[in-house]
Structure 1
Amino acid sequence: MATVTSSAESRLDPRRWWALGALVASMLVLGFDMTILNVALPTIAADLGASTGQQQWMADAYIVVFAALMLPAGLLGDRFGRRRMLIGGLGVFLAASLVGALASDVTWVVVARALMGVGGAFVMPLAMSVLPSLFPRDEQTRAIGMISAASALGMPLGPIIGGWLLNHFWWGSVFVLNVPMVAIGITACLFLLPESRDPAAPKVDTVSTALTTLGLGSLIYAIIEGPGRGWSDALVVGGFAAAVVLLTGLVLRERRGTRPMLDLSLLAHRGFLSNALAATLGMFVLAGVLFLLPQYLQAVLGTDALGTGVRIVPLMGGMLLAARLAQPLVVRFGARSVVSAALVVLAFAAFLGARTTVDSGYGFTALWLSIAGVGVAFAMIPAMGGAMAALDKDQAGRGSGLLSTVRQTGSALGVALLGALVAGAYTDRLSTAGLTGPAAETARDSVTGAHVVAARLGDHALAASANSAYVHGMDLALVVIGVVALAAALLSAALMPGRVLPVGLSSSAAEVAPISADA
């Protein structure tokens, strides 16, 4: 049983709402960072000469580290003090944001993003776990809802705020934005949060944590580096081999452990597995599209950073609309019907988007983006509720941790796989005739690099070729999304339980959870 060092009187301290406000500000920052960097990537690529693969690392470094450390971070908080570890996580996040803002090359941006993943992995679970030491039971639901809503709100605001900052300041400003808000969170935690811990909490499994981090990192490395180095390159093949060995070792260790960090036996529950796959596919699509789309909007359509942020809103708008309507539909038709239909809608949106040409314009993009947002949210929200409903109450904690981890893995794979597909197709289609070695290499690195070279040389043919090549690659990625979504729809219809979920499983928390920062 948890031992809480704060007294009952301190829980009812009126300052608890100020503490909650600081936690909300911190969670808003995590929401921003789910989407704000995507808008900045083309600008960073142009300034630092980042290739498509390097841009993928900027996005994925955060996700991979977050996915690997979220569960052990929660356990460390339980054992050594949730307040202490939350402050530590916020401190790491703040320091990493400063590193990102001051970075002068791609490597330091990637390092900063990885360190932000470390901090975020502590902040997300511990911001929730400190609430029982602040609020009585009848106020906890409201507090949880406010924190969840803050992280969910940050996602649609991130591209807009990031675009405005990029139009007025340098790209490092998207990192500086975090600093004052996180500093407020640290100060509030120092003076307003009581300490709480659970001495009976299990020890952190450092071996499993290392296997998860290195295995997932090796897999992502091989996928991202494949198009540039070649799929037969020794480092790429070695990355895949290392991933197989490390992840196999993780599975064997978790299956044999008495208290596994990741309870993989839960995947034997058909209802949990099918719903988890649907929720993970949603994150795969969301992360992949958010990575690819800003480059299309800025390089091909020529919009500025703020215009790009605004033009991503239809995707988020479709998701928020579906989040409000998902529960009534699940109650009426059942999760299986809603999730299967939503995946078909997502497939339709992807196949529609795959008809994009260089001359399509934004109106067509807004149409398929809106439909895709509806499909993603209608699939993810009931699937998350269905996954948890498939488990017994004593399995809920382990199920939630496993579900969060596989969803984060889906995000990382979305950026890596779809980005690699686009990078390979772009390089194959791009015409660099007449360019010297360095100029041709820069143009092949990314569509942004091609436009930089074209502007410097006045080469309109190169810009046109780059636009055509990138759109071709994006269309291929959308076809893959459509095929995978259709396959997932068939699996969902065949494997998901047909019962209607209880109303209480969705409500406010489920509406925002799939689009919150832990998603």
Structure 2
Amino acid sequence: MSTPSRAVAGLALAVLTASVGTSAANIALPALVTAFTTTPGHVQWLVVAYLVGMSTVSVAAGYAGDRWGRRPILLTGIAVFTVGAVVGAFSPSLTTLITARAVQGVGAAVMTALPLALAKDLVPEGGTGRVIGLLGTTSAVGTALGPVLGGALIGWGGWASPFWMMAVLGAAAFPLAGSVLPAQTPPRARRRFDALGNLLLAAAIAVFALALTTPVSIGSTVALLVCAAALLIAFVAAEKRADAAVLPPAMLRRRAIATGVIANVLVSTVMMTTLVVGPYALHDGLQLALPLVGLVMAVGPVISALSGILAGSVVDRASSPRIVTVALVIVTTGAVALAVLPAWWGVAGYVGALLILTPGYQLFLAANNTHMLSAADTTQRGTVSGALGLSRNVGLITGASALGTIYAALTAGTGTAAISSLDGARTVFLIAALLAGIATGVSALASHGLPRRAKRPS
């Protein structure tokens, strides 16, 4: 195996470990309610702490890679993730476990942000899309494996078993990445670390997540959202004055990067909505038993795994900006299909909608990531990768909390009647389709008038 191939394998294992970590612990939530004699609302903070940890560090992780070298920062992230998993497995209380998940989220932010920048460094221009597609496929496989392996291990060794699995994966990823990634000295950003910007951004994300996750009342939710908006405004103002902005305004003024970030937030919201609302549509709406719900839900990650590399190959042969728009049209069509087809054709309609939505999502990831990284300066690719991770996580938080809350409000007080669940899911998926349509419009406007990329000789 050539050096670039071995390096890509090391990056893929890091991405796999982080994606397994995202989903494996979630399967333990019911067991944790019993183990710590608590409520589902309290246990849900394991999910929020992980996402917030990832979101608040994503951009800083990219900057650190640009400044001090992507290889050592990636290895540090793997080590932090692994230590968090070990602490989680030994946790004597729910508070300790939630803290350990936040630490894991910090490590996972590095493990998901830097492989994209490293791939751009290590792979020739014509193969970047394929590698990014491979990393997307690896992420999908890890997300699918997490609940399956975690559920099997819990039945054997209790709630701590998924954390031991994550620790083993991290312990394997560290030496592999350390041995196969070249110890190159990347171009380094000679900027100071923007501590104030990072603090304001982290606070804005944390308050935003708190507002969407713990809605005590409408008044408290609105107050928290206003607070998050104020922190975001303060962050923007600080960035304009900072000598070492965490998200450099000049970088964000580039059309490809700004529109890519917006589209990534909206599409991630759509995809998380399918993961949150989909089980209710299948179980309550279509009356499937839970084991069958799991099988149907696994269709999406399987399709992602099969279509990721193909999507990357398409991107390598076509103009990325225009492929982004085409992919978003497919995602929008898939979201509309999720709203309409299950009521007509049942489970077959739901699976058919996934067959449209998921390849479109993989094509969007490969094209959008490639386009944004190509538009960035060499010294800012880590920062752009961090911005991609940040925007993705903000979308995941929004989809899981906001649109999940809309579904719950629409179906409240009506039990689990099939028509009620299908109507609620239909409305939420139509909202998701609207968000995807907005992303399509933004992408189309941004790519209008761009020159077509010259066709590469075969």
TM-score normalized by structure 2?
A: 0.78
C-alpha contact (below 8 Å) 1:283/1:407 kept by paired residues: yes
User: Post-superposition shift, 1:354?
Assistant: 2.4
Alignment of 1:161-172 (within 5 A): 161-166=149-154, 168-172=156-160
In structure 2, the partner of 1:347 is 332
Out of 432, 435, 454, the residue aligned to residue 484 of structure 1 is 435
Between the aligned residues of both structures, percent identity stands at 24
C-alpha contact (below 8 Å) 1:56/1:419 kept by paired residues: no
User: Post-superposition shift, 1:470?
Assistant: 5.1
Q: Distance in 2 between matches of 1:189 and 1:128?
A: 14
Alignment of 1:56-205 (within 5 A): 57-76=45-64, 86=74, 88-101=76-89, 107-125=95-113, 150-151=138-139, 153-166=141-154, 168-186=156-174, 201-205=190-194
Amino acid at match of 1:343: L
C-alpha contact (below 8 Å) 1:27/1:124 kept by paired residues: yes
Q: Distance in 2 between matches of 1:206 and 1:159?
A: 36
The DSSP-based 3-state class of the residue aligned with 1:262 is coil
C-alpha contact (below 8 Å) 2:322/2:447 kept by paired residues: no
C-alpha contact (below 8 Å) 2:33/2:43 kept by paired residues: yes
CA spacing shift, 1:336–1:429, aligned 2, 3 Å: farther
For residues 360-403 of structure 1, give each alpha carbon's deviation from its aligned partner in whole angstroms, at most 9, with x where no partner exists: 75433222222211222233322223334445666655444433
For residues 288-344 of structure 1, give each alpha carbon's deviation from its aligned partner in whole angstroms, at most 9, with x where no partner exists: 32233346556763323xx55543332123334443444565577744554334333
User: Post-superposition shift, 1:129?
Assistant: 7.9
Alignment of 1:441-480 (within 5 A): 464=416, 471-480=422-431
Amino acid at match of 1:155: T
C-alpha contact (below 8 Å) 2:304/2:358 kept by paired residues: yes
The answer to whether structure 1 residue 318 and structure 2 residue 303 are counterparts is: yes
The answer to whether structure 1 residue 232 and structure 2 residue 183 are counterparts is: no
CA spacing shift, 1:112–1:472, aligned 2, 3 Å: farther
C-alpha contact (below 8 Å) 1:331/1:501 kept by paired residues: no
Q: Distance in 2 between matches of 1:337 and 1:17?
A: 29
User: Post-superposition shift, 1:30?
Assistant: 1.0
The answer to whether structure 1 residue 500 and structure 2 residue 443 are counterparts is: no
CA spacing shift, 1:167–1:469, aligned 2, 3 Å: farther
Q: Distance in 1 between matches of 2:181 and 2:441?
A: 48
Alignment of 1:273-292 (within 5 A): 273-292=258-277
Aligned residues: CA RMSD: 4.4
Alignment of 1:312-461 (within 5 A): 312-326=297-311, 334-335=319-320, 337-355=322-340, 362-391=347-376, 396-426=381-411, 428-430=412-414
In structure 2, the partner of 1:222 is 211
Q: Which moved more, 1:58-67 or 1:146-155?
A: 146-155
For residues 478-512 of structure 1, give each alpha carbon's deviation from its aligned partner in whole angstroms, at most 9, with x where no partner exists: 121012122322332233244434678xxxxxxxx
The DSSP-based 3-state class of the residue aligned with 1:260 is coil
TM-score normalized by structure 1?
A: 0.70
CA spacing shift, 1:107–1:208, aligned 2, 3 Å: same
The answer to whether structure 1 residue 251 and structure 2 residue 202 are counterparts is: no
C-alpha contact (below 8 Å) 1:22/1:184 kept by paired residues: no
Amino acid at match of 1:372: L
Q: Distance in 2 between matches of 1:332 and 1:18?
A: 24
Amino acid at match of 2:290: T
Q: Distance in 2 between matches of 1:319 and 1:264?
A: 34
Gaps of 5+ in 1: 1-13, 432-463, 505-519
Q: Which moved more, 1:360-369 or 1:37-46?
A: 37-46
C-alpha contact (below 8 Å) 1:351/1:479 kept by paired residues: yes
CA spacing shift, 1:253–1:42, aligned 2, 3 Å: same
In structure 2, the partner of 1:442 is none
CA spacing shift, 1:367–1:40, aligned 2, 3 Å: farther
Amino acid at match of 1:273: A
Q: Distance in 2 between matches of 1:367 and 1:331?
A: 27
CA spacing shift, 1:216–1:250, aligned 2, 3 Å: same
Gaps of 5+ in 2: none
For residues 386-441 of structure 1, give each alpha carbon's deviation from its aligned partner in whole angstroms, at most 9, with x where no partner exists: 33444566665544443332233222222222222223334x3345xxxxxxxxxx
Amino acid at match of 1:211: L
Amino acid at match of 1:424: A
